[in-house]
Every structure is written in C-alpha cells, then in structure tokens.
C-alpha cells in the first residue's frame, strides 16, 4: 500500500465553492466595455446555390455595426484539418448549419432583428443524406471540386492473414451494426468574445479544450486577414462542459474575430440552445460490418471490420475517429489477424466532431455485441469467452501497442461477482457485459503529445502552477494540485492552478484522449520534483542537515525524529528571498510521453499505457411496451492509481449515464439534413428521474509511467455501455438490437419478428 498524504484523497474540487455560489464566470457572463453582440444566419436549405444576398436592410438598421457575408471572408480562412469549411459560405450551401451571413449589433435583440432582415435567394439542389448512397457513382456531389463524396483518407489496415484465419475458424459470426448522431449537450452553450488592441493583436475568450492549438488556428486566421506577425491570446472562461465538443475551432470563433476587427470593438457570439443543437457537431455516426471467428476452444482467430462513416458536409475531427477505432479493433482482446477499413463520406447532413471516446464507443458497440454472438455460437459463457481472450501485461498487440499494466482480468472478476450476486430468473430480466480498452497514457495524435507546467512558490507557502492542461469541469486542476501538494509536502488548497490564459500558461496539445491526468499530471510532477530539489538543498543549508534526511509534509520541512530540525515551509521560502544571494523557487517541465505516432501501416505504441474496464448491466425488458429498464449497473476500471476517488467516481458515473443515453435514448433526429429535435424535450437525455444505481469498483494496478501510478479515465465510462446494454437485452428476451439507440420501438419490432 502506498502512503500518500494528498494523492488518493477525496478532496473536493477546488473551484466547487465558487461554482456553488454562482460566482464562476462562463462565456455567457463576460461583458466588456463597448461590447457588441454577434449573430449568425444559417442556411435555409440542406443543399442550394446562393443566387443573391441583400444585406442593405440589415445594414440600415440602427444599432447594427457590421454585416458580413461569404464575400467578406478572406480566401485563406478555412477551418478543419481537411480545409473544406470556410466560416461563412459563398456561392453554395451544403447543410442546414452552413453559415451564410453574420452581424454585429449593439444589443442581442438588434442583432437578431438584423439577421431577420437579410434577404437571400437560393436555388435548391438535390441533397444526399445517406452515406451509402452518397458513395454511388451518380450521386449528387456535396463539393463539386472534390470530384467524389468519398474523402481521401487512409483508413485501412490488415495484420496477419484474415482470409486464412477465417478458413481455420470453427465458429464465425457476421453482422451489421449502426450508430447514429448524438451530441454533447454541454449545459453551458458555445461562445466566443473577440477583441483587438491598438496594434491589431487579438484577444479571444473562448470555451476551448485546445488553447494552444486554437491559438495556432487563430494566428492563421489573422494571417489570412492580412495581419502578419500579430499575437493571438486565448483566454478560457470557466467551461460549462466540453466532452470533445471544443476540440476544434469553429465558425463562431472566426466570425467573432472578423466582426471584432471590422467594428474595432469587442464582439461576443453566444449560442442559444437551438443553435447549440443545430450548429455544433455530433458524435460520428457509423455503419459497421463486422465478422469475427474463433477456434473450437474459443480462441479468437480473426476480426474483419468495414465501416462507412457519414462525414456530413464539412470535415472536423469526426473523420479521424477511425484512427481511434483501430485501438479496440486491433487490441481489445488478443486477436492476431485483423482487417479494417473505413470510408468517410460527404453528405448534406451535419458534420461530426470529437466526442468522449472518439470512435471507441461506436467500434466497441460492434465488437462487444459480436463477441457475445460468437460466444453463443461457440457455446461458451460470454464472461468466460472474454477471459480466454483477454489481454495480458506484457502483450504487444498487432498494432504494436505495448500493454504494460492490464487489470482486465480483475475487472471481469469484479463485474461477474457483482452481477451474479443477486441471481434472477425473472422473466424479461437479463445481464450483459462488455469490456473496453482506451488510451490511458497520452495519445500521440500530433507530432507532440506534450504538456508544459511552470511552478512558482511564493513567500507564504503557496504555489502557483501554470499548466497547459485544461480543466473543463472534469477536475484537472485538482489532480494537478494534489500531485504538486504531495510532492512538495503541502495541502491541495495551497496550490493555485492557472490554466486559463495562453499569455501565461505553457503549451499543451489539448484536453483529449483522456490524457490530462497522465500527461499534464506528469508535467506538473516533473516541475514539482525540480522545485523540491531546490527546496531541499536550501533547507539542508538552513537546517544544517543532509538533504536526503529531510522530509516535506504537512507544510513542514523536517528531519524525522529530530524536533530541533524542523521549519514551516513558508518560513524557509521567505529565507530564500530575504537572504544574501537569494533565489526564486520556480521550475518548469515539459513532459512529452515516450509514445509513438502511428506509422503508415498504423502500427505504433500510441499510448504509454492503456486503461481497461468492464461494464456489466442488469436490465428488465417490458415485452408489452419494449421499454428497457436498467436495474443495476457496475462499471469496473483499471485506473492505475486513483489520484482523487471522489472525482474519479464522478467521471465514471457521468460517463456511464452519458453512455446509457447513447444506448437507449439519445438521437439527433435528421430529416433530409434538417435537425428535428433541437431541444431537451425531444432530445432525450437521461434526467435525474432516469438515473440508475451504479457501482464503480476501482482497480489499481499502479502503472509505472503514470503520475503516482495513474492512468487516464475521462472517456472510458461511456465506451462499453451500449454493447453491455444490448447484450443484457439479448440475455433477457432473446432479441439483438444492432442499431442505436435501442428504443422501445426497435425492441418491440424485434420481439414481434422473433415471436412471429
């Protein structure tokens, strides 16, 4: 057992009191002198030519400071990694969320009125809304210049020999699964506030998970505007939830920048809820064909998966989710022969983005549903089937992932024990499980997977940590504070974590891939170790004791069992400043994990370590109505080491409930590209009434590379939820639902088909 003073403790979130008092300032709460309100006009069609735009009436409205159309956007200002998305469209619209104009006005009311006064003449074009049809030769093109609706992306791998393995397999199953659009539903809607100083330097307040990369995007935007060699400062207000939605930069940010520059005043754009549903991105919808086979003893021999992903009209990170889907496809359980390909296809629907799990929930839905089907075919208990094939520490998977710690066996045991505690033969009641693998030690998506941290100690025993990591509610500030406090012998409350401003915070690639505890945590730990060394060296001089005998704990520096040699840390700190030849106690650390980019063959140890988990669920299916009730839920994770169990449980509970929404209720309903349920009445999130009992056993395998042994746990909670539920429904009533969400209608239809 470890003997930590701060790490591993249930320390409440350091900003919680501020939030509980209503004092936290979100983008909605920020007002600056002379600030104008921006508003965006969206397309009225899924696919249309813009014939004419008349903004004269809007411009003439008193209180309107600027009106922009696509003509006002610099040619080189294009968003997304595929560079197919200008912030305001010109000539043609390709989806209902396409921006066609924007205004800045004195009040939100005037801005809205001005938007309504913009007259646009469209010529409607035939739309394409089904990605499989969009791949056909004579399909309308979403972007004529692209020549094809299929994006030029490299998602294809084949390890081992799937054809050969298939011939050798004793049991094979094959099926088609699909997942639909779901969206983040951050309670704080999106928004940005941009302003320029007298020298054309930009400051932008924005809800972002990627301050450093956003800064790069905004600098490119400035360059496109002809503003070379300027500064872009990104300030993050308190973020009202993110879940991946803020992993890219968006039209509203670029439009706020354009408006602010044109008006020479601060311009703020905040979304209302309808806009949040219609103009922010979704999880990537997927159509998945999967074939798996095992030998007569249940050893998995091959996995063969083909996917078609609906890219929507423009491209953001959703189109790169196959790179993460590869992880469960090649590495969840031991399987030597793997083939995978995915096509991302333009349609006139909304476009997808990162969302908690980044492709993993989709792929795991297909894999873990299929695993149960294969287990059944082979006549093996589904839990036993997973034990036969589970990953082991020391494994190197076909994608060259190096499995270091792996508590999958412990998780299987914990879930089986819980689920089988209260056996039930009740009609319509069943249990299901599903496992997960996820990156837990960073993820080298970019050339760097690094994060910087700077630590500054003051005269009073307090510490400022300037980190590149982003707290968006998940609690990274606490994790950082607890790690630093542990190392420096202080209390968590002595540590102030600053993560809000690119002018003072070091670089980081962003809060994604469950990487913050591991990477930002290790960066903070690295800086703390350097400060500690200085502190001990100075303490050794002042207390006249060898540095190696000194201990830092409970705000004291002391030699154990020697009451003479003890001093409060703050007193020692003052001496560092008020002594001849004084010094400052500061240190920095840039931690870039020793993981690898995926190569051209997609092989490479993407993460320093991998997080494993198993979810188990007991459901009751009402065969009259098709309604699925979740009776019990157990979500076991191997987290390496819990830095803060209170926050860890919050991540798991929140992830599971989000995952249950994915499994059972959530869908952004599209009709010919138009979103039909842009509100919380019709988009069915789990409410307090729907919340279920969750047990969350935490298994600690003390990963050697994690800060104090920790692995990432931000996303796993929602990864295997849907297949666990689907497997439980099958166990309960013998129908397998292969398309999410598993609505009562789908269950009833399947029951009807089964019962004839």
Shortest distance in whole angstroms from residue 696 CB to other proteins: 4
In the shown chain, the binding pattern of residues 631 to 650 toward other proteins, with x for contact by CB under 8 A and - for none, equals --------------xxx-xx
- Using rule CB under 8 A, residue 630 touches other proteins: no
- Identify any residues that bridge with 191 across adjacent strands, giving them in sequence order: 270
DSSP result, 686-754 = --TTT---EE--EE----TTSGGG----SSGGGSSHHHHHHHHHHHHHS----BSS--HHHHHHHHHHH
Shortest distance in whole angstroms from residue 410 CB to other proteins: 14
- φ/ψ of 370, rounded to 5, equals -65, -35
- φ/ψ of 36, rounded to 5, equals -105, 160
| Minimum CB distance to other proteins smaller for 358 or for 686 | 686
Q: Contacting other proteins (CB under 8 A), which of 48, 101, 238, 630?
A: 238
Shortest distance in whole angstroms from residue 670 CB to other proteins: 20
- Using rule CB under 8 A, residue 1 touches other proteins: no
Q: Contacting other proteins (CB under 8 A), which of 425, 681, 753, 756?
A: 681
> What's 643's DSSP letter?
S
Structural tokens at position 538 = 């100075």
Give every CB contact of residue 354 below 8 A, 6+ residues apart in sequence.
244, 245, 247, 248, 316, 317, 318, 321, 512
User: What is d(CA 636, CA 648) in angstroms, rounded to the nearest whole number?
Assistant: 12
In the shown chain, the binding pattern of residues 185 to 214 toward other proteins, with x for contact by CB under 8 A and - for none, equals xxxxx-------------------------
Does residue 215 contact residue 502 with C-beta atoms inside 8 Å? yes
Segment lying near other proteins (by CB under 8 A), choices 115-123, 325-333, 430-438, 689-697? 689-697
User: Which candidate, 5, 92, 110, places its Cα nearest to that of 43?
Assistant: 92
Helices (DSSP H) in 38-196: which residue ranges?
56-60, 108-117, 131-134, 162-168
- Using rule CB under 8 A, residue 688 touches other proteins: yes
- Using rule CB under 8 A, residue 140 touches other proteins: no
- Using rule CB under 8 A, residue 507 touches other proteins: no
Does residue 255 contact residue 99 with C-beta atoms inside 8 Å? yes
- Using rule CB under 8 A, residue 361 touches other proteins: no
> What's 11's DSSP letter?
P
Burial of 28 (0-12, 13-18, 19+ CB in 10 A): middle
Give every CB contact of residue 711 below 8 A, 6+ residues apart in sequence.
405, 440, 441, 517, 518, 609, 610, 611, 638, 639, 640, 641, 703
| Minimum CB distance to other proteins smaller for 498 or for 551 | 498
Structural tokens at position 516 = 């913050």
- Using rule CB under 8 A, residue 676 touches other proteins: no
| Minimum CB distance to other proteins smaller for 105 or for 185 | 185
User: What is d(CA 476, CA 316) in angstroms, rounded to the nearest whole number?
Assistant: 25
Ramachandran category for residue 229: left, alpha or beta (phi over 0 → left; psi -120 to 50 → alpha): left
Rounded to a whole number of angstroms, the CA Rg of the chain reads 27
Segment lying near other proteins (by CB under 8 A), choices 25-33, 143-151, 229-237, 704-712? 25-33
User: What is d(CA 625, CA 634) in angstroms, rounded to the nearest whole number?
Assistant: 26
Residues belonging to the chain = 756
Segment lying near other proteins (by CB under 8 A), choices 55-63, 164-172, 251-259, 682-690? 682-690
- φ/ψ of 448, rounded to 5, equals -115, 145
- Using rule CB under 8 A, residue 19 touches other proteins: yes
- Using rule CB under 8 A, residue 492 touches other proteins: no
Segment lying near other proteins (by CB under 8 A), choices 10-18, 261-269, 290-298, 551-559? 10-18
Size of the site for other proteins (CB under 8 A): 63
Give every CB contact of residue 343 below 8 A, 6+ residues apart in sequence.
135, 150, 151, 155, 307, 308, 309
User: What is d(CA 234, CA 223) in angstroms, rounded to the nearest whole number?
Assistant: 16
In the shown chain, the binding pattern of residues 427 to 466 toward other proteins, with x for contact by CB under 8 A and - for none, equals ----------------------------------------
- Using rule CB under 8 A, residue 669 touches other proteins: no
- Using rule CB under 8 A, residue 5 touches other proteins: no
Does residue 550 contact residue 562 with C-beta atoms inside 8 Å? no
- Using rule CB under 8 A, residue 22 touches other proteins: yes
Shortest distance in whole angstroms from residue 188 CB to other proteins: 4
Q: Contacting other proteins (CB under 8 A), which of 419, 472, 713, 740?
A: 472
Segment lying near other proteins (by CB under 8 A), choices 59-67, 363-371, 436-444, 656-664? 656-664
| Minimum CB distance to other proteins smaller for 183 or for 364 | 183
Shortest distance in whole angstroms from residue 17 CB to other proteins: 5
User: What is d(CA 708, CA 524) in angstroms, rounded to the nearest whole number?
Assistant: 12
Shortest distance in whole angstroms from residue 613 CB to other proteins: 13
Q: Contacting other proteins (CB under 8 A), which of 2, 10, 81, 601?
A: 10
Shortest distance in whole angstroms from residue 684 CB to other proteins: 11
User: What is d(CA 467, CA 505) in angstroms, rounded to the nearest whole number?
Assistant: 5
| Minimum CB distance to other proteins smaller for 298 or for 712 | 712
- Using rule CB under 8 A, residue 696 touches other proteins: yes
Q: Contacting other proteins (CB under 8 A), which of 63, 241, 428, 568?
A: 241
- Using rule CB under 8 A, residue 264 touches other proteins: no
- Using rule CB under 8 A, residue 479 touches other proteins: no
- Using rule CB under 8 A, residue 12 touches other proteins: yes
Consecutive H or E run containing 255: helix 251-263
Give every CB contact of residue 589 below 8 A, 6+ residues apart in sequence.
452, 453, 523, 524, 525, 526, 527, 529, 530
- Using rule CB under 8 A, residue 725 touches other proteins: no
| Minimum CB distance to other proteins smaller for 404 or for 500 | 500
Binding residues (CB under 8 A) for other proteins: these are 10, 12-13, 15-26, 28-29, 184-189, 238-243, 272-273, 472-475, 645-647, 649-650, 652-658, 679-681, 685-689, 691-698
């Amino acid at each position: 057992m470890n003997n930590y003073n701060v790490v591993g403790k249930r320390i409440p979130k350091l900003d919680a009191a501020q939030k509980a008092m209503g004092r936290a300032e979100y983008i909605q709460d920020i007002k600056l002198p002379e600030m104008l309100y921006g508003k965006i006009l969206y397309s009225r069609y899924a696919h249309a030519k813009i014939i004419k735009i008349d903004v004269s009436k809007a411009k003439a409205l008193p209180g309107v400071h600027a009106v922009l159309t696509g003509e006002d956007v610099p040619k080189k200002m294009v968003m997304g990694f595929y560079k197919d998305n200008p912030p305001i469209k010109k000539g043609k619209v390709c989806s209902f969320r396409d921006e066609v104009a924007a205004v800045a006005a004195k009040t939100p009311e005037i801005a809205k009125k001005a938007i309504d006064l913009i007259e646009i003449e469209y010529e409607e074009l035939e739309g394409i809304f089904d990605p499989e049809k969009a791949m056909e030769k004579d399909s309308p093109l979403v972007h004529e210049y692209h020549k094809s609706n299929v994006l030029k992306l490299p998602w294809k791998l084949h390890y081992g020999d799937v054809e050969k393995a298939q011939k050798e397999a004793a049991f094979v199953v094959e099926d088609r699964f699909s997942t639909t659009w779901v969206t983040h539903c951050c309670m704080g809607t999106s928004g940005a506030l941009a302003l320029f100083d007298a020298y054309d330097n930009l400051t932008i307040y924005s809800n972002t998970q990627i301050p450093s990369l956003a800064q790069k995007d905004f600098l490119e935007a400035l360059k496109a505007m002809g503003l070379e060699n300027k500064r872009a400062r990104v300030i993050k207000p308190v973020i009202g939830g993110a879940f991946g939605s803020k992993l890219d930069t968006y039209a509203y940010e670029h439009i706020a920048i354009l408006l602010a520059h044109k008006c020479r005043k601060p311009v703020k754009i905040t979304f209302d809820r309808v806009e949040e549903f219609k103009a922010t991105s979704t999880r990537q919808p997927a159509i998945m064909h999967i074939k798996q086979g095992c030998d007569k003893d249940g050893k998995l021999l091959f996995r063969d998966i083909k996917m078609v992903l609906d890219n929507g009209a423009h491209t953001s990170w959703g189109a790169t989710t196959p790179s993460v889907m590869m992880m469960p496809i090649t590495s969840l359980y031991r399987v030597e022969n793997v083939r995978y390909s995915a096509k991302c296809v333009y349609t006139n629907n909304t476009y997808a983005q990162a969302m908690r799990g980044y492709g993993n929930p989709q792929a795991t839905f297909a894999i873990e549903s299929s695993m149960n089907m294969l287990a059944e075919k082979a006549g093996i208990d589904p839990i036993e089937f997973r034990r036969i094939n589970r990953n082991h520490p020391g494994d190197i998977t076909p994608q060259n992932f190096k499995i270091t710690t792996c508590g999958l066996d412990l998780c299987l045991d914990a879930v089986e024990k819980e689920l089988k505690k209260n056996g039930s033969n009740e009609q319509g009641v069943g249990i299901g499980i599903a496992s997960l693998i996820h990156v837990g030690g960073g993820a080298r998506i970019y050339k760097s997977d690094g994060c910087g941290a700077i630590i500054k100690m003051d005269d009073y025993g307090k510490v400022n940590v300037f980190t590149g990591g982003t707290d968006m509610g998940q609690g990274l500030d606490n994790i950082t504070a607890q790690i630093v406090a542990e190392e420096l012998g202080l209390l968590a409350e002595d540590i102030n974590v600053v993560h809000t401003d690119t002018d003072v915070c070091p670089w980081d690639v962003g809060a994604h891939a469950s990487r913050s505890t591991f990477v930002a945590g290790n960066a903070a730990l690295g800086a703390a170790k350097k400060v500690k060394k200085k502190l001990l060296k100075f303490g050794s001089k002042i207390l006249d004791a060898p540095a190696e005998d000194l201990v830092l704990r409970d705000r004291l520096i002391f030699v154990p069992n020697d009451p003479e040699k003890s001093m409060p840390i703050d007193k020692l700190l003052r001496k560092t400043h008020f002594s001849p030849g004084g010094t400052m106690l500061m240190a920095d650390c840039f931690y870039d994990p020793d993981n690898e980019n995926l190569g051209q063959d997609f092989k490479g140890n993407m993460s320093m370590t991998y997080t494993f988990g198993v979810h188990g669920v007991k459901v009751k299916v009402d065969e009259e109505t098709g309604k699925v009730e979740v009776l019990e839920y157990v979500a076991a994770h191997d987290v390496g080491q819990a830095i803060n169990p209170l926050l860890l449980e919050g991540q798991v509970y929140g992830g599971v409930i989000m995952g249950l929404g994915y499994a059972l209720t959530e869908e952004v309903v599209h009709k010919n590209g138009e979103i039909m349920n842009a509100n919380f009445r019709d988009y069915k999130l789990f409410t307090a009434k729907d919340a279920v009992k969750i047990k969350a056993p935490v298994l600690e395998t003390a990963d050697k590379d994690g800060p104090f042994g920790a692995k990432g746990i931000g996303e796993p909670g929602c990864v295997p939820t849907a297949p666990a539920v689907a497997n439980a429904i099958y166990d309960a009533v013998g129908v397998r639902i292969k398309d999410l969400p598993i609505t009562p209608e789908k269950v009833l239809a399947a029951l009807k088909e089964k019962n004839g």
